[in-house]
């Protein structure tokens, strides 16, 4: 075990239950890097929902709520309101966050409540064996779309940006350094920070979604199908687009609004305005 692992991973919780080649390990390390960078381990608690990616924090030497399917954000909001001085890091997946948990995502983003959300998008329901998720690409054959998926995939970053989320970024497991930096920035940011990670599920999504089972090759594909969006540039496509003219998915930092008032700041301001001493 290297030093970072010793500091952050509960040895007795190993081995983890991730499949070989899963992107969760990369994301787990990226978040460890981010906490190390901020030197904030003692002030962090994690909340996750249900699904493969929601197991990521369960191996950390941290306080963790491995909550219910779709409800991670609701648990996290309660925890944050009880302990406004602490950083709450949420791990969720595409189905957990946008399908069953969609309502909580809308409202947490709209509130701009100070949480950092890492949404692992593997384009599939992996744990249940490969059924379509809200992000499954159109045409992809899955266990519940045997003739090909007919729904346009949902764009989580676009959704939360259109609401009140004040820090929004998208990276892939092929960009672990940038991902760690984004998680650190998100945790440092006061407000709703949303980081989508395009991840590989070689077992359930590999062949049917990407035509490729090799994890390394799926990751190489992520580099091919994405392009770096530069915040503040005159990118004609914009961060909210699904794809640019060349058919590539934007990645990078999409939004970083330092001036947006956070939920608890607004609560306290209103109480002060009403003359309520706390």
Q: Is 104 in the site for another protein (CB under 8 A)?
A: yes
Among the residue ranges 7-15, 32-40, 124-132, 183-191, the one whose residues contact another protein (CB under 8 A) = 7-15
- C-alpha 129 chain-centroid distance: 21
Residues 26-45 that bind another protein (CB under 8 A): 42-43, 45
Q: Is residue 78 at the binding interface for another protein, with CB under 8 A as the rule?
A: yes
Which residues, listed in sequence order, are joined to residue 37 by a DSSP beta bridge?
Answer: none
* Euclidean distance between CA atoms 31 and 58, whole angstroms: 13
Is residue 91 near another protein by the rule CB under 8 A?
no
Q: Is 267 in the site for another protein (CB under 8 A)?
A: yes
Q: Is 258 in the site for another protein (CB under 8 A)?
A: no
Dihedral angle of Cα 65, 45, 97, 73, to the nearest 10 degrees? 80
- Total binding residues toward another protein, as defined by CB under 8 A: 38
Cα–Cα distance between 127 and 109 in angstroms, integer?
26
Tell me how far, at minimum, the Cβ of 71 lies from another protein, in Å.
4
Q: Residue 129 has what DSSP assignment?
A: T
Q: How far is the CB of 263 from another protein (least distance, A)?
A: 9
Q: What are phi and psi of 109, to 5 degrees?
A: -65, -45
Q: Is 122 helix (H, G, I), strand (E, B) or coil?
A: coil
Distant-in-sequence, close-in-space partners of 276: CB < 8 Å, separation ≥ 6 = none
7 binds another protein (CB under 8 A): no
Which residues contribute to the site for another protein (CB under 8 A)? 10, 12-13, 42-43, 45, 47, 50, 58, 60-68, 71, 74-83, 86, 103-104, 106-107, 267, 271, 276, 278
């Amino acid at each position: 075990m290297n030093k970072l692992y010793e500091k952050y991973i509960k040895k007795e919780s190993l081995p983890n239950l991730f499949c070989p080649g899963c992107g969760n390990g990369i994301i787990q390390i990226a978040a460890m890097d981010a906490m190390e960078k901020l030197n904030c381990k003692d002030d962090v608690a994690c909340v996750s929902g249900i699904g493969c990616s929601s197991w990521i924090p369960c191996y950390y030497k941290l306080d963790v709520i491995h909550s219910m399917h779709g409800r991670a954000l609701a648990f996290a909001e309660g925890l944050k309101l009880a302990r406004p001085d602490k950083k709450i890091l949420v791990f969720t997946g595409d189905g957990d966050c946008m399908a069953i948990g969609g309502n909580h995502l809308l409202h947490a983003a709209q509130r701009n409540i100070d949480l950092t959300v890492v949404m692992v998008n593997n384009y599939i329901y992996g744990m249940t064996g490969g059924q379509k998720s809200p992000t499954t690409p159109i045409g992809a054959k899955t266990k519940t779309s045997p003739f090909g998926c007919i729904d346009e995939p949902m764009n989580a970053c676009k959704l939360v940006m259109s609401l009140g989320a004040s820090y929004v970024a998208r990276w892939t497991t092929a960009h672990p350094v940038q991902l760690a930096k984004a998680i650190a920035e998100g945790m440092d940011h006061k407000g709703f920070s949303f980081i989508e990670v395009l991840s590989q599920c070689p077992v359930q999504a590999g062949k049917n979604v990407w035509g490729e089972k090799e994890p390394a090759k799926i990751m190489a594909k992520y580099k091919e199908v994405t392009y770096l969006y530069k915040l503040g540039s005159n990118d004609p496509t914009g961060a909210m687009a699904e794809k640019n003219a060349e058919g590539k998915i934007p990645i990078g930092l999409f939004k970083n609004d330092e001036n947006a008032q956070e939920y608890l700041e607004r609560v306290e301001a209103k109480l002060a305005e009403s003359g309520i001493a706390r």
